[in-house]
């Protein structure tokens, strides 16, 4: 029997969803559903200083308003620190992590972190934990970005000096724990894939299929993001938002589709989803 597809959408609650995040959520949802899969929602609330109060609830509300219901309960990373700790112990046992006492200033002056210059011994517990993988090469086939070869140029931090677990660690630990075998997300995360693939293997997991969707750009040629104040999605216009996002993903929605309910729009689209129809170029939304 072929393996069940398990995909996910994993927002960080640093702000409300915007149109670019809707495109990612919708693309990952449709790819999962069209392949008879499960689609999970995971809240990546790992970094309280960067979070916006109420954003997690707003994101979940927006997903529901757009008919994007995850299978099972939403998983919250803030409740899973024990898993990240165990994963670090596993890496420690293989001597794949080490302490880094370098300051930000030292790293900046050296033009980046280099393992051979790293201050690994020092008094106190003011250190980050880094994953030994610089210099490794990863080749993979991305569903939309095609053949990729990435050389890891720096050992990434897995636990920060302030004691917070890093995104790179938590995302891989959770994808393994949740059985995720297809990761569909925005092309801004393409460059993390080499490091994450190394971590999947080091932690005994299977590297998932990756697919990086094109990014929605603003008029200034930047990716829509919370940092450049992309407008929050208006949940009251869910059907129109979905139809617009479908257009971006390569569909040609028939006139009047936006007068349907989100659930009807999603079932129309999941029956017609075609990976090869997605236009791979990062671009502005056609007016």
Task: Return d(Cα 192, Cα 140) in angstroms, integer.
Answer: 13
Q: How many residues bind ligand GLU (CB under 6 A)?
A: 7
The H or E element spanning position 176 is: helix 167-177
If we measure between CA atoms, which residue out of 152, 157, 133, 24 comes closest to residue 84?
157
| Closer residue to ligand GLU, CB minimum distance, 7 or 67 | 7
Cβ contact 153:133 at 8 Å: no
Annotate each residue in 123-162 with x if it binds ligand GLU (CB under 6 A) or - if it does not, as one string: ----------------------------------------
For residue 48, the minimal CB distance to ligand GLU (Å) is 14
Please give the residues from 38 up to 77 whose contact with ligand GLU meets the rule CB under 6 A. 44
Indicate if 226 belongs to the active site. Answer: yes
Task: Return d(Cα 17, Cα 235) in angstroms, integer.
Answer: 10
Annotate each residue in 242-261 with x if it binds ligand GLU (CB under 6 A) or - if it does not, as one string: --------------------
Please give the residues from 179 up to 218 whose contact with ligand GLU meets the rule CB under 6 A. 185, 189
For residue 101, the minimal CB distance to ligand GLU (Å) is 28
If we measure between CA atoms, which residue out of 165, 102, 97 comes closest to residue 129?
97
Q: What are the tokens at 82?
A: 């024990």
171 binds ligand GLU (CB under 6 A): yes
If we measure between CA atoms, which residue out of 206, 249, 182, 200 comes closest to residue 37?
182
- Strand 128-131 with 137-142, pairing: unpaired
Q: What are the tokens at 78?
A: 């803030």
Task: Return d(Cα 46, Cα 126) in angstroms, integer.
Answer: 19
For residue 108, the minimal CB distance to ligand GLU (Å) is 24
For residue 11, the minimal CB distance to ligand GLU (Å) is 5
Q: Which of 90, 159, 161, 226 is catalytic?
A: 226
**Contacting positions for ligand GLU (CB under 6 A):** 10-12, 44, 171, 185, 189
């Amino acid at each position: 029997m072929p393996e069940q597809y398990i995909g996910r959408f994993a927002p960080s609650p640093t702000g409300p969803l915007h149109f670019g995040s809707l495109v990612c959520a919708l693309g990952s949802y449709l790819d999962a559903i069209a392949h008879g899969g499960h689609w999970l929602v995971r809240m990546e609330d790992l970094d309280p200083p960067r979070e916006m109060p109420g954003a997690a609830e707003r994101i979940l509300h927006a997903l529901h308003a757009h008919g994007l219901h995850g299978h099972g309960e939403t998983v919250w990373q803030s409740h899973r620190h024990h898993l990240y700790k165990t994963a670090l112990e596993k890496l420690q046992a293989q001597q794949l992590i080490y302490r880094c006492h370098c300051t930000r200033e030292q790293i900046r002056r050296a033009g980046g972190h280099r393992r051979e210059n790293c201050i690994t011994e020092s008094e106190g517990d003011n250190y980050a934990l880094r994953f030994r993988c610089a210099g490794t090469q990863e080749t993979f086939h991305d569903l939309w970005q095609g053949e990729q070869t990435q050389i890891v140029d720096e050992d990434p931090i897995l636990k920060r000096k302030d004691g917070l677990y890093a995104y790179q660690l938590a995302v891989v630990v959770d994808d393994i724990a949740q059985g995720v075998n297809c990761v569909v997300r925005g092309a801004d995360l393409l460059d993390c894939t080499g490091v994450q693939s190394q971590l999947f293997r080091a932690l005994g997991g299977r590297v998932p299929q990756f697919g990086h969707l094109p990014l929605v750009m603003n008029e200034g040629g930047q990716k829509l993001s919370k940092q450049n104040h992309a407008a929050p999605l208006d949940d009251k216009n869910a059907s129109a938002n979905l139809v617009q996002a479908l257009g971006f993903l390569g569909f040609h929605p028939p006139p009047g589709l936006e007068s349907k309910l989100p659930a009807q729009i999603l079932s129309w689209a999941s029956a017609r989803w075609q990976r090869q129809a997605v236009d791979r170029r990062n671009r502005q939304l056609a007016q």
